[in-house]
Amino acid sequence: MFFDKKKEEKNESKEDDLKKEESKNLSTKISIERIKSKLGRSVDFACKKFNVNSNKDLPVSIIYINGLIDSLKTSEFILQPLAESETLKSAETPQEVIKLIEQGALYYSSQTKRDKEDDIIKDVIEGSVALIFEQESIAFTFDLKGFERRSIGEPSSENVKKGGKDSFVETLRVNTATIRRRIKTPDLIIEEKVVGRQSKTQLNIVYIDGITNMDIVNSVKKKIDEMDIDQVLSIGKLDEFINEKKYSVFPQVDYTERPDKFCSDIIEGRVGIIVDGLPMGVIVPTEFAKLLQAPEDYSEDSIIASLVRLLRYFLLISTILLPGFYIAVTTFHPEMIPSELAMSIAESKEGVPLPIFFEVILMLVAFEILVEAGLRMPKTISQAVSIVGALVVGDAAVTAKLISPGVVIVIAIAAIASYAVPNQDLSNAIRLWRFIFVILSSIIGLFGLMIGVILILFNLAKMETFGVAYLEPFVESETMQAGDSLIRLPIKFLKYRPNFLKTYNKKRIG
């Protein structure tokens, strides 16, 4: 009895193993019904069954998503050959049809053989047409994307004087082709990642093998692989995951709509990131000095470009320090002001009930409101609103003795100076720190202003992006590298790539 029971248990375990093996085989087979259950709930999903050359022994199914494919190409390169091709008429079994397709019976360059349902579904969602032989569990997918795309135009947020007038668009492959047109070396590497559990967004990492430091490349890949998020449909989602300092307001990556700027940074030894659906490229690592440079600097004469670059540094210091400095000298250190100017400020302040600190804060907040309103309103009326707000409201406030003219002038200069900063994210960070400087200056005058300077320098000095100090190249021993950041050196002096990028190929010239 004991042996009989043991034998029964053994037979039962064998049956369970056979059932598991059978279910496993079924799950690995391609099933049209399973694909329909996943995609068929949407109205744009299409699945058609027909016979090759009207032969009932050669059934095949074609699936695609309407709106993502080019219908004319599908008919010309897939459906018509399957119905009329002389080559396929000789086939008598589905296996022969598959073999003929592998040998080029369907003349289309982008063709992939698939034997897994997940791969087929992925290709179809991305804009491919799938030709499925269900009995043989074999499919062919053809990249026949045909959705509407925006044509390449001029950059909307970056002015171009002497350079390419094209810009990135929302289509990933158009962007990579634009890069390839400018960088024709076979060492240009474009690697693909897919991010977002639901959005399945394609993301390309761009660098040049033999120039870019692979430690930076691997660090970028690692951060992207660690992204566990539902969707990456905006650049801010990517930004937060790849930033080294999560709570710093200073930008740690650079963005650009301009392919020429993007390619120039790649050749310099940086890493670029392009996200499908976003008309811009991301560049890492990024240091503070780079954010104050513009591509046009290298299109102008070196003397003119150097003066303009020095002016940017001066305006950056002015926009962040001027409001706080005005509060400090008028409230705590009036002896620093020439007597005639002091009398003029005192006369203009007569009748204004608010302290200078509140006047400055009120004007800064009003400026921020105007900027935000200009960004959010339609373009046709945003300029009108900005002009009305700046002129009418400002003039009315001075006339009504709510704000003194001196404060209006100081805030206007600081606001205009902030527009000279080429990078918008850096400009936003400066606007926030301007409030901090104003508050510190209103407490202990110039001492508070200096405390603010020390705080911002400490914040910048401790930052790193992908192993590169944020204040590079000013912390480098190479005076030539720092010189090209403050001024624009002539091209003949720029023989080497920046040391802090640790590139494998150091030479730019010679």
d(CA 422, CA 425): 9
d(CA 232, CA 351): 54
d(CA 139, CA 84): 20
d(CA 330, CA 445): 9
**Nearest C-alpha neighbor of 224 from the set 209, 245, 244, 203:** 203
Range(s) of the domain holding residue 375: 298-465
- Same-domain pairing of 427 and 451: yes
Which residue type is seen at 258? R
| Residue 129 DSSP symbol | E
- Same-domain pairing of 416 and 302: yes
- Backbone torsions φ then ψ of 479, nearest 5 degrees: -70, -30
pLDDT of residue 476: 67
d(CA 215, CA 221): 10
Find out whether 67 and 87 touch, Cβ atoms under 8 Å.
no
- Same-domain pairing of 279 and 390: no
Q: DSSP E strands: which ranges in 434-477?
A: 464-465, 468-469
Beta bridge partners of 61: 49, 132
Residue with the two structure tokens 């079994």: 93
pLDDT of residue 372: 79
Residue 151 lies in a domain: no
pLDDT of residue 153: 77
Residue 156 lies in a domain: no
- Same-domain pairing of 456 and 430: yes
- Same-domain pairing of 123 and 201: no
What are the b/e assignments for 459-486, b being 16+ CB within 10 Å? ebeebebbebbbbbbbebeeeebbebbe
Residue 325 lies in a domain: yes
Q: Which of 143, 159, 184 is the last residue of a domain?
A: 143
Residue 494 lies in a domain: no
d(CA 125, CA 127): 5
Residue with the two structure tokens 């179809």: 124
d(CA 195, CA 203): 7
- Same-domain pairing of 319 and 424: yes
Find out whether 193 and 182 touch, Cβ atoms under 8 Å.
no
Residue 292 lies in a domain: no
Please report, in tens digits, the pLDDT of each residue of the chain (510 residues total): 444 555 555 555 555 554 445 444 445 688 888 988 888 888 889 998 888 888 888 889 999 998 888 888 888 888 888 888 778 888 888 888 888 888 888 877 788 889 888 889 988 988 889 999 988 889 999 988 877 677 777 777 777 777 778 889 888 888 999 999 999 989 999 999 989 888 888 899 999 999 999 999 999 999 998 888 888 888 888 888 888 777 888 999 999 999 999 999 999 999 999 999 889 999 999 999 999 988 888 888 889 989 999 999 999 999 999 999 999 999 888 888 888 888 888 887 887 888 889 989 988 888 888 877 777 777 666 666 666 666 677 777 777 788 888 888 898 899 889 888 888 889 889 989 999 999 999 999 999 999 999 999 999 988 988 888 899 888 865 555 666 788 888 888 888 888 888 898 888 876
Q: How far does the chain reach from its first CA to its final CA, in angstroms?
A: 91
Residue 97 lies in a domain: yes
- Six-digit token string for 492: 């003949």
For the residues of 201-267, what is the DSSP string, one character each?
EEEEEEEETTTS-HHHHHHHHHHHHT---S---SHHHHHHHH-SSTT-SS-SSEEES-HHHHHHHHH
**Nearest C-alpha neighbor of 59 from the set 134, 116, 122:** 134
At residue 81, the 3 state secondary structure works out as: helix
- Six-digit token string for 145: 């994307």
- Same-domain pairing of 35 and 123: yes
- Same-domain pairing of 131 and 276: no
Find out whether 299 and 483 touch, Cβ atoms under 8 Å.
no
Q: How many angstroms separate the Cα of 233 from the Cα of each of 63, 151, 168, 243, 466? A: 27, 20, 16, 17, 24
- Give the number of residues written for the chain: 510
- Same-domain pairing of 342 and 392: yes
d(CA 426, CA 283): 15
Is the entire prediction scored with pTM above 0.85? no
Q: How many angstroms separate the Cα of 305 from the Cα of each of 241, 294, 401, 417? A: 35, 10, 43, 18
**CB neighbour class for 47 (10 Å; exposed up to 12, middle 13-18, buried from 19):** middle
**Nearest C-alpha neighbor of 227 from the set 208, 199, 247, 250:** 199
- The helix or strand, by DSSP H or E, that contains position 502, with its residue range, turns out to be none
Count of structural domains, the chain: 3
Residue 148 lies in a domain: no
Percentage helix, strand, coil, to 5, in the chain?
Answer: 55, 15, 35
Residue with the two structure tokens 């590497």: 189
d(CA 238, CA 223): 10
**Nearest C-alpha neighbor of 127 from the set 81, 177, 43, 70:** 70
- Same-domain pairing of 318 and 238: no
| Residue 347 DSSP symbol | H
Q: Which of 261, 286, 311 is the last residue of a domain?
A: 286
- Same-domain pairing of 119 and 206: no
- Same-domain pairing of 81 and 185: no
Residue 488 lies in a domain: no
Q: DSSP E strands: which ranges in 376-508?
A: 464-465, 468-469
d(CA 213, CA 467): 11
CB atoms inside a 10 Å sphere around CB 252: 21
